[in-house]
Chains A and B, each alone.
Chain A
Amino acid sequence: MTDATVSQAAPKRQPNPVLTAFRRNRFSWVGIGLLTLIILLAVFAPLVSPFDPLKQNILHRLSPPSAQFWLGTDSYGRDVLSRLLYGARISLSIGFFSVLVAMVVGSAFGILAGYIGGVFDQIVMGIVDVMLSFPTLLLGLMVAAMLGASFENLIIAIAITETAPFARVARAPTIAVKRREFVEAGRSLGFSPSLIMGVHILPNILSDIVVVASLWMASAIRTEASLAFIGLGVRPPTATWGGMIREGFENILSAWWLVVFPSLAILLTVLALNILGDALRDAIDPKTRSAQ
């Protein structure tokens, strides 16, 4: 009896390829560990920050790293470490929400284009190609400059730059899945297109989308920092990593810590996301999976 249930269940649930690959690729744990640490520090910033990130202290202007101020202070005497921890909240949340918006909108259009096909497909993919012909950073810069830089507008600006890749990634597997028997079966049973797309197609292409999401979140964080560096970030005095580098750049000859620590913060966060994205891609791509 038990044997029969097992053999029935077996073809349904194979061992999760993502988990298997993560178990084999030890390097990916570096990425996961690093990212978890950064997220925890951002979430608990009010608890772990030694100082108020906005508190100015004229007596301690531009002091180098010391026992009191681990990463030094800026030109207003604000603690760099505390600003770094609060800045993580801005970078991570703008990165996360912009990719979320881009993922939902982009994948929806990609799935629709792949499923419906024909003229609609051509129009959507035409727009996608055009959007891809704008350099990401310049498109973000343009939209942010037009809308005015604020937390919400930055999410919109960065989401606009990243919607097109998701549409492209969602479309190709939709076309492949559309031709499979179980979708044909669903259609012949009279399921509505939205049911077929939501229940049959989406779960099958989700893994591809998630890989792209982690890699594009890395890109989103880079774009946010770059925009903040040229003055299109969340308004000061709010601490953002790109904004901290912008302010520190004015004192680069005398106060290296103002640019070095925020730079490392951005680099480590983007690196962690890239490692994670790579590991996910290796896990999902059958070619590299079998090779390991």
Chain B
Amino acid sequence: MIGYAIRRLALAIPTLIAMLTMVFVLVRLVPGDAAVAMLGDRASNAALQALRTQLGLDQPIGVQYLHFLTDMLTGNFGRSMVSGRTVLEEVALVLPYTLELTAAAMLIGTLLGIPLGVIAAVRRDQWPDYVSRILSLVGLSFPGFVSAILMLLAFAVWLHWLPVMSRATNDPIDHLRNLLLPALNLGLIMTAYIARVTRSSMLDVMGEDYIRTARAKGVRPRSLILRHALGNALIPIVTVVGLYFGTLIGNSVLTEIVFTRPGLGKLILGALQSRDYTMLQGLMVVFATFVIIVNTVTDLIYALVDPRVGLAQ
């Protein structure tokens, strides 16, 4: 297990470097160069040249690449062209809001999704299964921002149950009210996803011989489903929840924009509107690093719950 953990952690390093290389290439896709894109076509040559020097664009590409790699690997993600703060400072300011939102969504997603998937699998091809499958399919078809807008329209604009805009507040109840709709939006989409995976995972496990043996032995149905079947069915679900993290982050960006919540979404949108490429590049690296960390941790958890993984390597 420890050997596997070390190998898995070592694997994250080339992934990280390859990711940085890709971001480096992406940023250089800008037609013309980043300086022209940031200052516009009408900027003076002197201003362009000054910015190029500041961004290091006047150096040979190999040197730029090495600088970029060392900067990024030492945690120097650059400075926002607009606010002057470093990318990490900006991220640290809003990260708690995004983490709170994604954590709440994951909670809703697993608490609703797993039971829904189990019921669908146990009642296969009966009405609870059909209802759950149709709901999952609809949930999976919603782009995150569309469901967010429709929920905003229904609960805030029409029913007036909840605020249309999130406001900064110190009151914990207000804080929860601000969190509720965005978290529900992300959580329900995730529920659809988890329910689907749980159903198919449960169906796989329920067809195994040991379940038949347990049933023949007279294990009570409740214990059979919850302990014997779900216990093993959870293994692939852990992986899938981990892999879903990237999608969740993407959806949370749009959800934050719809609900005017502070967070990484607003940061990205701001960088986009002010053509702050340093910020965009830094955010891209931060996001991808998050995903790589979560994927690595997911694999480690997987090895922990399924001892066969460590042995097979």
- A142, A147, A225, A232: which has the most chain B beta carbons within 10 Å? A142
Q: Which residues of A contact B143 (CB under 8 A)?
A: 222, 225-226, 266, 270
Across the interface, do B250 and A133 meet the contact criterion of CB distance under 8 Å?
Answer: no
Interface of B is mostly: helix
Across the interface, do A245 and B149 meet the contact criterion of CB distance under 8 Å?
Answer: yes
Instruction: Give chain A interface residues in 134-160, CB to chain B under 8 Å.
Output: 134-138, 141-143, 145-148
Q: Roughly how many angstroms separate A138 CA and B287 CA in the complex, as a whole number?
A: 9
Per-residue interface assignment for chain A, residues 49 to 63, with 1 indicating a CB less than 8 Å from any chain B CB and 0 otherwise: 000000000000000
Residue B157, interface by CB 8 Å: yes
- In the complex, what's the smallest C-beta–C-beta distance from B283 to chain A, in angstroms? 8
Report which of A135, A225, A232, A267 forms a contact with B291, defined as CB distance below 8 A: A135
Do A252 and B157 form a contact, CB below 8 Å, given A135-B287, A146-B30? Answer: yes
Q: Roughly how many angstroms separate A259 CA and B150 CA in the complex, as a whole number?
A: 8
Do A274 and B250 form a contact, CB below 8 Å, given A131-B22, A134-B291, A138-B287? Answer: no
- B141, B142, B287, B291: which has the most chain A beta carbons within 10 Å? B141
Across the interface, do A232 and B272 meet the contact criterion of CB distance under 8 Å?
Answer: yes
Chain-A contact segment, one of B13-21, B48-56, B83-91: B13-21
Q: Roughly how many angstroms separate A127 CA and B140 CA in the complex, as a whole number?
A: 27
Q: Roughly how many angstroms separate A133 CA and B19 CA in the complex, as a whole number?
A: 8
Report which of B31, B141, B250 forms a contact with A136, defined as CB distance below 8 A: B250
Across the interface, do B18 and A252 meet the contact criterion of CB distance under 8 Å?
Answer: no
Residue A182, interface by CB 8 Å: no
Report which of A133, A143, A226, A252 forms a contact with B145, defined as CB distance below 8 A: A226
Residue B121, interface by CB 8 Å: no
- In the complex, what's the smallest C-beta–C-beta distance from B251 to chain A, in angstroms? 8
Residue A256, interface by CB 8 Å: yes
Instruction: Give chain B interface residues in 80-98, CB to chain A under 8 Å.
Output: none
Residue A126, interface by CB 8 Å: yes
Per-residue interface assignment for chain A, residues 216 to 249, with 1 indicating a CB less than 8 Å from any chain B CB and 0 otherwise: 0010001001100111100000000000010001
- In the complex, what's the smallest C-beta–C-beta distance from A147 to chain B, in angstroms? 6
Q: Roughly how many angstroms separate A146 CA and B276 CA in the complex, as a whole number?
A: 11
Instruction: Give chain B interface residues in 88-131, CB to chain A under 8 Å.
Output: none
- In the complex, what's the smallest C-beta–C-beta distance from A62 to chain B, in angstroms? 15
Q: Roughly how many angstroms separate A138 CA and B268 CA in the complex, as a whole number?
A: 9
Per-residue interface assignment for chain B, residues 143 to 180, with 1 indicating a CB less than 8 Å from any chain A CB and 0 otherwise: 11110011011000100000010000000000000000
Across the interface, do A278 and B149 meet the contact criterion of CB distance under 8 Å?
Answer: no
Instruction: Give chain B interface residues in 233-268, CB to chain A under 8 Å.
Output: 246-247, 249-251, 253-254, 257-258, 268
Across the interface, do A230 and B272 meet the contact criterion of CB distance under 8 Å?
Answer: yes
Interface size on A, residues (CB 8 A): 41
Q: Roughly how many angstroms separate A271 CA and B147 CA in the complex, as a whole number?
A: 13
Across the interface, do A275 and B29 meet the contact criterion of CB distance under 8 Å?
Answer: no
- In the complex, what's the smallest C-beta–C-beta distance from B16 to chain A, in angstroms? 9
Q: Roughly how many angstroms separate A133 CA and B277 CA in the complex, as a whole number?
A: 21
Residue A48, interface by CB 8 Å: no
Across the interface, do A133 and B295 meet the contact criterion of CB distance under 8 Å?
Answer: yes
Q: Which residues of A contact B30 (CB under 8 A)?
A: 146-147
Residue B137, interface by CB 8 Å: yes
Across the interface, do B137 and A130 meet the contact criterion of CB distance under 8 Å?
Answer: no
- In the complex, what's the smallest C-beta–C-beta distance from B102 to chain A, in angstroms? 12
Q: Which residues of B contact A19 (CB under 8 A)?
A: none
Across the interface, do A270 and B253 meet the contact criterion of CB distance under 8 Å?
Answer: no
Q: Roughly how many angstroms separate A232 CA and B271 CA in the complex, as a whole number?
A: 13
Q: Roughly how many angstroms separate A129 CA and B153 CA in the complex, as a whole number?
A: 39
Across the interface, do B140 and A263 meet the contact criterion of CB distance under 8 Å?
Answer: no
What are 9 A-B pairs with beta-carbon distances under 8 A?
A: A130-B19, A133-B295, A137-B251, A226-B145, A230-B254, A232-B272, A249-B149, A252-B153, A270-B141
Instruction: Mark B residues whose CB is within 8 Å of A.
Output: 14-15, 18-19, 22, 26-27, 29-31, 37, 137-138, 140-146, 149-150, 152-153, 157, 164, 246-247, 249-251, 253-254, 257-258, 268-269, 272-273, 277, 280, 284, 287-288, 291-292, 295
A133-B291, A136-B247, A225-B145 provided; 9 other pairs, C-beta below 8 A?
A130-B19, A133-B15, A147-B29, A148-B31, A229-B254, A252-B152, A256-B153, A263-B149, A270-B141
